[in-house]
Amino acid sequence: MLGTDKQLESILSALEQADTLDGMQSVSEALRDHYKVDHLVYHWVDSAGDQYGCGTYSDAWQDQYLSQNYVRIDPVVQGCYQRFHPVDWKRLDWSSKAAREFLRTSAEYGVGNQGYSIPIRGPNGQFALFTVNHNCDDAEWTKFTEENRRDLILIAHYFNEKALEFEPGRQPIQQSSLSPREIDAMTLLAMGYSRAQVANSLSISEHTLRVYIESARFKLGALNTTHAVARAMSRGLIVV
């Protein structure tokens, strides 16, 4: 886990200190090597619609992806855009002819047959994807994702928090701590519970839950609930 792995702590410390995209790129390469996967990629679209990225896919594949405008048909992007929670690529829809051809072409450029992507939404329309990608059998990949899921989610949000620092006109981060009840609410929301399910689990009314959520959002300087959950995760206030 993050708290006990000194090498990982050192890599994330480098991410915290990074002040350029090159710095984020170096961290992505270090994390790829740390987890012994073929590729690790972080890609985001900021509130102005500008796209940025860092990661270990080949330059040739990146050029091919952009030139062919694969974002239109990429099942990973299409499948994750409406999601908040991590998704294994095997659960996405690869049934169309275009998707199958995209998968075949990506393999020619060194993209592995297994993937795990974490969608993230930030303020003002920011959307990001954090992906680990590898070539192995299903059993090995299932073991990897089960063992590393929590750390990968946190790392994804660390990357996103750093990316938000490049946002023009960003607001200063507020450091107020969350109450135990606010932490409980944010944790259950991060796990995919609906508001009704969260209220039922905590034995409170949905009105009271709304008060907790709004209080947490204000303390975290977040513009919406999803952003609040992301910030709470990136700062280690909640773990799922």
Q: What is the mean pLDDT of residues 111-116?
A: 97
Cα–Cα distances in Å, from 236 out to 33, 37, 209, 233? Answer: 23, 24, 21, 5
Residues in Cβ contact with 10 at an 8 Å cutoff, skipping those fewer than 6 apart: none
Give the rounded percent of residues in the chain with a pLDDT score beyond 70: 90
Q: Lowest mean pLDDT: which of 49-53, 158-162, 234-238?
A: 49-53
- Which of 107, 133, 164 represents a domain boundary (last residue)? 164
Listed residues 106, 132, 164: the one ending a domain: 164
The domain in which residue 31 lies consists of: 6-164
| Mean pLDDT of the 145-162 span | 88
Any idea what the CATH number is for the domain that residue 105 is in? 3.30.450.80
pLDDT of residue 188 exceeding 60: yes
CATH number at residue 220: 1.10.10.10
Instruction: Return phi, psi of residue 203, to 5°.
Output: 55, 45
Average pLDDT over residues 102-106: 96
Looking at the structure, tell me whether residues 191 and 93 fall in a common domain.
Answer: no
43: left (phi over 0), alpha (psi -120 to 50) or beta: beta
Burial 27-53 (b: 16+ CB within 10 A, else e): bbebbbeebebbbbbbbbbbbeeeeeb
Asked whether the predicted pLDDT for residue 236 surpasses 90, the reply is no
- 117 with 228, same domain? no
Which secondary-structure segment (H or E) carries 132? Answer: strand 127-134
* Per-residue confidence band for 185, with pLDDT thresholds at 50, 70 and 90: very high
Whether residue 50 sits in one domain with residue 135: yes
| CB of 41 closer than 8 Å to CB of 80 | no
Looking at the fold, whether 105 and 191 belong to one and the same domain comes out as no
The Cα–Cα gap between 67 and 31 comes to 28
Q: Is the pLDDT of residue 46 over 80?
A: no
Say yes or no: 186 and 156 in one domain: no
- In tens, the pLDDT along 209-228 reads 988 998 888 888 777 888 88
pLDDT tens column, 168-183: 555 444 456 888 899 9
